[in-house]
Amino acid sequence: MSILLSDLELLSDVAERGSFSQAAAARGWSQPQVSQRIALLESRLGTQLFQRHRRGAVATPACLTYLESVRRALSELDSGRRAIQGAPALPEARIGCPPSLASLVFSPLVAALAETPIELFCHTDHSTELMERVLTGRLKGAFVLNRPTITGIQLEMLAVSPIVAMVAADHPLADAGPLPLAAIADARISPQWWGSEAEELVRLLRSHRRAPLPLHINQPATTACELALEHGFIVFMPAIAALRDLQAGRLLPLQVSDLPQWQWEVMMAYRAGKRPDASRDTVLAAARTIGMQWRASLAELGLADTANL
């Protein structure tokens, strides 16, 4: 039984994209061409590799098992190619995080590993999708938010950040003492979408509003910061997502006496596995150091929650 290298690359690509048509478009092929190649590969392997449905294709358990060996083989072949071409064959580490944490995560991570013989590939996506990529081996690890434990993935807490109201340093309420939600409900307010609890906050604010003013929920964290700094909004968001502006004094936490104690749990997700993985362990060590720095910074600002660490 002979299997073409291009078929293995196609298999990996379809699994990554979750779509025959997207894999076809990336190659300039028709969708039936990809379907035929995958069907031939399934015939040679004697097992179904994908569940087909209208919105795409989902890898079967057999496919996920096979993909582990396929990706290792493709990585080794690529390392060999680079070696004979004179390029350094460095191990790769693909790491993910949600968009709202990208600048907070990737900049210090790349800087910490700048001289380390590892090539980082940084990806952003929602936490659910990142967990799925870690589980299928497409990512070495991922920074994720408020995720439950699932079989096959280790979750390590890095920091716990409260959801707080924030204003620019020159905002009229910047020096105000503790205020109830009712006292600020008619101001220009835009919560960042940090999860389903953001909708609960909107309902609370609407119950206190005396005028039918709009409440705009924004994303990502950079938008929330800009709304506060440049347009005078009160924003509600995870403190860790605005850490640099808080440390610089550009944003100030606004004390809201009856704000529920919502929080973000920032975790590192990875597959432990039985095989040694030096690049994964190196990235994990750097992530733990970054987590320590986050916790220290939040503590300095009086915004730390160490009970869950």
In the chain, what are the domain boundaries?
A: 5-72, 91-309
CA dihedral 232, 237, 238, 240 (to 10 degrees): -30
Check: CATH 3.40.190.290 for 91-309? yes
Q: Quote the CA–CA distance of 182 and 277 in Å, as a whole number.
A: 53
- Kindly report, residue by residue over 81-125, the tens digit of the pLDDT: 776 776 556 778 899 999 888 888 999 999 999 989 888 999 999
Over residues 179-199, mean pLDDT: 92
Record: fold of 5-72: Arc Repressor Mutant, subunit A (1.10.10)
Residue 160 in tokens: 């716990």
- Kindly report, residue by residue over 26-85, the tens digit of the pLDDT: 888 888 899 999 999 998 889 999 998 887 888 999 998 888 888 888 877 877 777 677
- Kindly report, residue by residue over 68-83, the tens digit of the pLDDT: 888 888 877 877 777 6
Instruction: Please calculate the CA angle 42-43-45 and round it to the nearest 5 degrees.
Output: 65
CA dihedral 252, 263, 200, 191 (to 10 degrees): 30
Q: Are 173 and 234 in contact (CB under 8 A)?
A: yes
Find the length of the chain. Answer: 309
Distances (CA, A) of 129 to 7, 93, 103, 132: 25, 17, 19, 5
Residue 157: count of CB within 10 angstroms of its CB:
13
Which DSSP symbol is given to 305? Answer: -
pLDDT at position 290, please? 95
CA atoms within 13 A on the CB side of 202: 17
Question: Which DSSP string do the residues of 103-152 spell out, in sequence order?
Answer: HHHHHHHHHHTTTSS-EEEEEE--HHHHHHHHHTTS-SEEEEESPPP-TT
Residue 5 in tokens: 């290298």
Tokens 């944003």 sit at which residue? 251
Instruction: Please calculate the CA angle 76-79-82 and round it to the nearest 5 degrees.
Output: 150
